Amino acid sequence: MDILLETDRLILRPFTIDDAEAMFIMDSNPIVHKYLWNKPVQDITEIYPVIESLQKQYATNKIGRFATFLKEDGQFIGWTGIKFINDHIENGNTNFYDYGYRLDERFWNKGYATEATKFWLEYGFNEMKIQEMNAYTHAQNGASNHILSKCGMQFIEEYTAEDGINWKWWQLFNPNQK
C-alpha cells in the first residue's frame, strides 16, 4: 500500500519493517501501556508480527493503523488510523470500522492525538465513505475519552469485556450521509 497522508503537523503512512525499533521503544514503555492491558513488549522480536499484521490489513482492507511522524523533523510519534475489525467481537460488534491511536509518551499533551483524530474521521467519512466510525477506550483513560468527545464522537455505553476491564464505546455517524 503506497500512500502518504499529511495534516498540518503530521505525516501518516503505512508501517514498514523499518519502523520496528521506534515502535518497540514506544511499546516497551509501561506508562504507554497503562490503559492497554499493562503488557508492554519486552523484546523487539514481538514487534515484527505486529507490523506484519498491519501490512496484511492494508492488503485486505485497504486501510489500517498508520505510522505517524512529525512533519518538522520526521520523528516517529506513534500510530493512528482506521482499522476494519473483523477478527474478534468487541462489545457485541464485529465487521466495523474502528478509529484508534497510540502515541509515544514524549508526544502526549501536544495536540497530536486530537489533530490525527480529526483528520482520520474526516478521511474515513469523506474519502472512504464510511457510514459509521466506532472507537473503544479504557474507561479510566480520561485523556483519550476527552479527545474522542472533543472530536465529535458520541459516548454510547460502558461495557465490561471478557478480560474483566471496563471500556467505553464511542460512535459517530457520517455527517455527510443521511
111 is a domain residue: yes
For residue 119, the domain's CATH number is 3.40.630.30
Q: How far is CA 151 from the centre of its chain?
A: 14
Question: 46 and 150 in contact (C-beta within 8 Å)?
Answer: no
Residue 45 buriedness (CB in 10 A; 0-12 / 13-18 / 19+):
exposed
- Domain range for 52 is 5-134
147 is a domain residue: no
pLDDT in tens, 129-157: 999 999 999 999 999 999 999 999 999 99
The position carrying cell 465513505 is: 129
Q: Give the side-chain half-sphere CA count within 13 A for 72.
A: 3
- Using CA atoms, how far residue 112 sits from 20, 34, 48, 79, 80, in Å, is 21, 19, 25, 11, 10
Q: For 27-150, where are the E strands, in sequence order? A: 65-70, 76-85, 96-103, 132-138
176 is a domain residue: no
97 is a domain residue: yes
Q: How many CB atoms neighbour CB 177 within 10 A?
A: 10
114 is a domain residue: yes
Which value, in Å, is the radius of gyration of the alpha carbons in the chain? 15
Residue 153 buriedness (CB in 10 A; 0-12 / 13-18 / 19+):
buried
Phi then psi for 70, rounded to 5 degrees? -75, 135
pLDDT in tens, 46-75: 999 999 999 999 999 999 999 999 999 999
pLDDT in tens, 113-125: 999 999 999 999 9
166 is a domain residue: no
Total number of domains constituting the chain: 1
For the full predicted model, state whether its pTM sits above 0.85.
yes
141 is a domain residue: no
Separation of alpha carbons 123 and 129, rounded Å: 8
170 is a domain residue: no
